[in-house]
Amino acid sequence: MNTFLLDLLAFGAVLSGVLVITSKNPVISVLFLISVFVNAAGYLLLLGVGFVGISYLIVYVGAIAILFLFVVMMLNIQLTEIVSVGREYTKNLPLGFIVGSLFFFEVLSVLPASYSDAGELPLGLFNYINGLFLGVNSSFTSSDVHMTFSGPGADDSFTGFLQIEAIGQGLYTYGSLWLLLGSIILLLAMLGPITLCMRSASDK
C-alpha cells in the first residue's frame, strides 16, 4: 500500500517536471515547480526521511519558489521574447536527443544492475556476515531493515526526535567546517544581489 502511494507521488513529480519544462508561460512553469517540490517532499515523508522532507516544504516551496514567482511577476516579460517557435525550437532538438541518449547510456552501462532498483540492495548478505562475526544469528531481510529504520507511518518519522538528533549531531561535529563554509556562501549570496542592485541604482 505504501508502495502505491510512493509510485503515485513519483509519477506526480515526473509529470509536473515535464509540465515545468514544456509550459510557455513562466508563471505556470513556477507553479508546476512548486508541484514538483511538494510531490518530492511527500515522497520523502512517506519514505521515512522526515526532517529533510519537511525542510523541503519550508525551504523550496516557502522560499525559493516564492522568490522565483516574485521575480517572474516583477519583471515585465513579453512572451514573444522568450518563447522560441519553429526553427529556433527544433534546432535544439538534436542536441537534446544526443545528451539524453548519452545520459541513458551512461546510467545503464555504469551502474550495476543490482543497484538500479533501490529496494533490492543486498542488505541481507551484510547482515548475515555481521551475524557470523557477532555470533548472533540475525536473519534480517531488506524489508526488515526498512521497518526498523522508518517506522510504519509517515507521522511517526518526524514526531520522534531520533532523526533530527542524528542530523544535528552530524552537522555540528564532523561537518562543522562545512557548515561554516555554507554560511559564508549564504552570506555571499546575500551580499551579491545587494551589490548588483546598488550599483545599478547609483548609475542613474
Contacting another protein within 12-51 (CB under 8 A) = 13-14, 17-18, 20-21, 26, 29-30, 33, 36-37, 40, 43-44, 47-49, 51
User: In this complex, which beta carbon is closest to another protein, that of residue 136 or of residue 147?
Assistant: 147
Q: Judged by CB under 8 A, does residue 78 bind another protein?
A: yes
User: In this complex, which beta carbon is closest to another protein, that of residue 84 or of residue 139?
Assistant: 84
Alpha carbons within 13 A on the beta-carbon side of 186: 6
Q: State the minimum distance, in angstroms, from the CB of residue 22 to another protein.
A: 8
Q: Judged by CB under 8 A, does residue 152 bind another protein?
A: no
Among 5, 73, 121, 129, contact with another protein (rule: CB under 8 A) = 121
Cα(37)–Cα(31) distance, rounded to whole angstroms?
Answer: 10
- 175 burial (CB, 10 Å; 0-12 / 13-18 / 19+) is middle
Cα(49)–Cα(39) distance, rounded to whole angstroms?
Answer: 14
Q: Judged by CB under 8 A, does residue 178 bind another protein?
A: yes
Contacting another protein within 127-146 (CB under 8 A) = 145
- Which cell numbers in the block locate residue 55? 525542510
| Inter-residue contact 65 to 34 (CB < 8 Å) | yes
Contacting another protein within 95-114 (CB under 8 A) = 95-96, 99-100, 103-104, 107
Find the Cα–Cα–Cα–Cα dihedral 46, 50, 55, 58, rounded to 10°. Answer: 50
